[in-house]
Amino acid sequence: LSLDEQTGNFQVGKDFDALRVNVAAPGGPIDLIKYEEPQIRLEKFLNLGDDRNIVEVFVAGRKVVPFREASADRTTTFLTGSDKSD
């Protein structure tokens, strides 16, 4: 496909597509045990997750979909399933 100059790693100037997820989303399909390794949380999201777990979508480095607006006092941590309250 000859896309090596556009994609493939995290170098500045390359396209960046990503999902920001919350594996512990209220009403979501994923059951979490008290502490699980990040790899297990990722596997659960890949196998069980749905739109309730997706917080933001980035395409070519631009945020294109904020599914939910994060409140000022809560931030979601990528694949940790923890919400931090101030």
pLDDT at residue 45 in the model: 96
How many C-beta neighbours within 10 Å does residue 28 have?
20
- Whether 1 shows a pLDDT value over 90: the answer reads no
- Whether 43 shows a pLDDT value over 90: the answer reads yes
pTM here? 0.64
Instruction: Name the 3-class secondary structure at 55.
Output: strand
**Amino acid in the structure at residue 31:** D
pLDDT at residue 50 in the model: 95
What does the pLDDT average to over 27-33?
Answer: 92
How many C-beta neighbours within 10 Å does residue 15 have?
13
